Amino acid sequence: MHLATIAALALAAALSLTGAVHANKSPGFIARAVGDPGRPAEDRARDAARKPAEMLRFSGVEPGDRVLEMIPGGGYFTRLLSKAVGPAGHVYAAAPDPKGSDAEPAAARIAADPAYANVSVIGITAAALGALPPIDLIWTSQNYHDLHLTRVHADVPALDRLWLKILKPGGRLIVIDHVASPGSPVTATADKLHRIDPAAARNEIVGAGFVFDGQSEALANPADPHTANVFDPSIRGRTDQFAFRFRKP
């Protein structure tokens, strides 16, 4: 065969492979989750900043997965995860006490919507988490630092170990949070700025037995000086964030 023909075939094969890899990075179920017409307009307005398709791809979520979402807040990712795992999967939204000062009613409203029938709300207790079936993916977004708040008094290393226990072998933990300056004291910084030093979070989670499995720079913002509270108008919605993936060995 002529060398030019061989080169052309090799190039075609490479382009075909590149296209296949790109397609695998953008599976249809993620596109359908992001395009879900049931998502509120205010959620869609935040997509440019929160990059849901990139984060779902990074997580490795698949249809049929069982997902534990810790502290779902307003439910931004709850709906996305519900549609991503589909009717064969399930999302367990672990929310604060509905009668407490930290109540998050959004998850209960989503779970009551027939369009998200695969969502259940559970409490954030060792008993509730320990009673779950084996989990494929644990997801916590913008709230790992909250577990370190003085007023919460959480034993975070023990919680990390519980997460490891309820995950299937090879299961994944996704932690997305606001970046604090290197070496920042964890509790004081959470209290004051609602941020956490990425290295501190990583070391704590790996110390519980997880294997660090990758990170995404999709939410990075190098213009964030890391000195303002995340709710400060000067930076709100534009904070520098890390996205870490951990795996159960």
Q: How confident is the model at residue 40 (pLDDT cuts 50, 70, 90)?
A: very high
For residue 229, count other CB atoms closer than 10 A to its CB: 14
Nearby residues of 236 by Cβ (< 8 Å), 6 or more positions away: 230
Inform me whether the pLDDT recorded for 5 exceeds 50.
no
* Mean pLDDT of all residues in 28-55: 96
* Mean pLDDT of all residues in 21-33: 69
Positive or negative, the CA dihedral 178, 180, 182, 187 is negative
Superfamily of domain 28-247: Vaccinia Virus protein VP39 (3.40.50.150)
Structure tokens belonging to residue 203: 């070391």
> What pLDDT was estimated at residue 19?
33
Inform me whether the pLDDT recorded for 7 exceeds 50.
no
Altogether, the residues listed in the chain come to a count of 249
Instruction: Please tell me the pTM assigned to this model.
Output: 0.87
Q: How confident is the model at residue 102 (pLDDT cuts 50, 70, 90)?
A: confident
Structure tokens belonging to residue 52: 């849901």
Judge whether 184 and 195 are in contact, CB under 8 Å. yes
- Residue 67 and residue 59: Cα distance in Å, rounded? 11
pLDDT one-digit tens code per residue, 57-98? 999 999 999 999 999 999 999 999 999 999 999 999 999 877
Q: How confident is the model at residue 26 (pLDDT cuts 50, 70, 90)?
A: low
* Mean pLDDT of all residues in 218-235: 97
Tokens 């989670």 correspond to what residue? 205
Report the percentage of the chain scoring pLDDT > 70.
Answer: 89
> What pLDDT was estimated at residue 41?
97
pLDDT one-digit tens code per residue, 145-201? 999 999 988 999 999 999 999 999 999 999 999 999 999 999 999 999 999 999 999
Mean pLDDT of the chain: 90
